Structure 1
């Protein structure tokens, strides 16, 4: 008896209509990145040229690595590199710690209205202009006419030393760190609060049945479960650790050369050099060096995170 052979049903090819729709949806973003992110990268050749405005980017003569050599032999490179790394490390560590602590505190507020009000209050500084921050700092540290100031008036009550803050370089890494905590603490806490909402409520109920206090739950449950989010934020922050916060630092410090030993970062140095000297080649070389080192840092951070927590790694 001959068996009948039944042909296997053909698989339907996925329709291309959905794929075309997704491609059209992504097209504006792709065009934006090509035009404004990848297109200008052609100008990186300025870092290897003796740039002349009349001859243009591609018409200027090549000078190899002379722009890089001039920067590293100027004596300013070690200072601004160290300042950039130290300040950004302080900013990153302080903003992450402040954001995590604020998120844990806000999570303990039971009233919905009180919690939302607290979130709005601590999030508001993120939108304050660096110029406004500079004016506030001048009122606190220098006062009217560069004398006194609210902080020195407070120190005077307890007969404590009243330094001239705008001529004391050693204090400014900590002053700028306090500013970044005030500016970014609330913004970072919102990210952690969003991660807290994904933690199952049953975990807290089980801990409550075991007699755990709210502080113990925050320490033993909430904080460990926020570590993957913290790791991702740190990796993203490390990717920018070689880029100084130009707007905030320049608005506050400006051209005060007395504070340059501790506050002059790569971004402010490049801006000041371009404005005063007008050497496009050297400034382009510094910017390229900054980008390459930033790429190395973020790659290393991702690899370290992957080794420590493979499941929570972004790659």
Structure 2
């Protein structure tokens, strides 16, 4: 016991630094896990508060989970969620690494910081604001794109009523908003690479492309794999703001814009069934956990050093 208190006193500065993050996870991630029991109950509000509501609600087992799988739209929303996330993960990875390498190779470092800041700014904008910007481009009568089309003699396009364009629009907007933040992570990793590797490559006569191919990318590979594994864990979750705010809740294009999260929100706003919503969230979390474990296992079999654990 004395050794425990000695180590506690020795590491008190580090423990104090970790305390805010620990409290955040405890309050917002671990304590709310008690609420997952709602997924198995017919939740009814009780006058004595939340805990009384949970305890007095009827146990219904897996009845709430049938909501996601019994609907006619189950296949569509699952397909959209998986395909959109796969596209965002793959394109986000490739473009983030490419932009990070490009910024690192710029000779004018002051301009590189300007470009980095310009790409990073959209990350701080809410989807509500971005939806208005998008509408200013896609509006049928006053939109910038339609004005350009009509100026060249074409007919205006009803963007919010034509589902053909929306997979590309949503993927583009998702990448545009997040690419700046993702590239900063890889740019920081590149900055931490020992310069002696590049010096040795230049002595061997390696070109700039060969330095990137045989030095930068191999050293970035562990980070790329770890971030991809974590992203795969969220493949059944979607950026709610992207899929709800950008299409402006246009029912005509639901078949290509509706994902699990938006479908749950629209359904719950109509039925008010909190048990079904909790069941859907628990389902997404469990599937995400399984995907992380399976992906990590596969990576571990290929290269143990690149696995998360």
Q: Please, what TM-score do these two structures have when normalized by structure 2? A: 0.89
CA deviations on 1:249-289 (whole Å, 9 max, x unpaired) are 22212421112111111111111122111112222211111
Q: Which runs of 5+ in 2 are unaligned?
A: 47-51
Match of 2:125 in 1: 128
Match of 1:164 in 2: 158
TM-aligned CA distance change 1:203 to 1:25, over 3 Å: closer
Whether 1:232 aligns to 2:226 is yes
Which is richer in helix? 2
User: 2 CA distance for matches of 1:203 and 1:24?
Assistant: 37
- RMSD over equivalenced CA pairs, Å: 2.2
Match of 1:53 in 2: 45
SS at match of 2:275: helix
CA deviations on 1:66-118 (whole Å, 9 max, x unpaired) are 21123311222221111111111111111111111101111111223122222
Q: Assess if the C-alpha contact under 8 Å between 2:131 and 2:248 holds in 1.
A: no
Whether 1:16 aligns to 2:5 is yes
Runs of 4+ residues deviating >6 angstroms: none
User: 1 CA distance for matches of 2:26 and 2:186?
Assistant: 33
CA deviations on 1:38-64 (whole Å, 9 max, x unpaired) are 222222122111222237112011122
Q: Which runs of 5+ in 1 are unaligned?
A: 1-12
Match of 1:187 in 2: 181
User: 2 CA distance for matches of 1:189 and 1:131?
Assistant: 24
Match of 2:29 in 1: 37
Match of 2:285 among 270, 286, 291: 291
User: 1 CA distance for matches of 2:15 and 2:200?
Assistant: 46
User: 1 CA distance for matches of 2:4 and 2:59?
Assistant: 52
Deviates more, 1:117-126 or 1:207-216: 207-216
User: 2 CA distance for matches of 1:249 and 1:70?
Assistant: 21
Match of 2:67 among 66, 70, 74: 70
Match of 1:278 in 2: 272
Q: Assess if the C-alpha contact under 8 Å between 2:76 and 2:255 holds in 1.
A: yes
Which is greater in Rg? 1
TM-aligned CA distance change 1:205 to 1:172, over 3 Å: same
The alignment covers a number of residue pairs equal to: 300
User: 1 CA distance for matches of 2:94 and 2:17?
Assistant: 38
Q: Please, what TM-score do these two structures have when normalized by structure 1? A: 0.87
Q: Assess if the C-alpha contact under 8 Å between 2:233 and 2:289 holds in 1.
A: yes
TM-aligned CA distance change 1:29 to 1:194, over 3 Å: closer
User: 2 CA distance for matches of 1:201 and 1:106?
Assistant: 16
User: 1 CA distance for matches of 2:21 and 2:224?
Assistant: 28
SS at match of 2:31: helix
Match of 1:252 among 224, 236, 246: 246
User: 2 CA distance for matches of 1:15 and 1:63?
Assistant: 46
User: 2 CA distance for matches of 1:96 and 1:211?
Assistant: 29
Match of 1:81 in 2: 78
Equivalent residues in 2 for 1:97-176, closer than 5 Å = 97-142=94-139, 146-147=140-141, 149-156=143-150, 162-176=156-170
User: 1 CA distance for matches of 2:180 and 2:17?
Assistant: 33
> How many Å apart are 1:170 and its aligned residue?
2.9
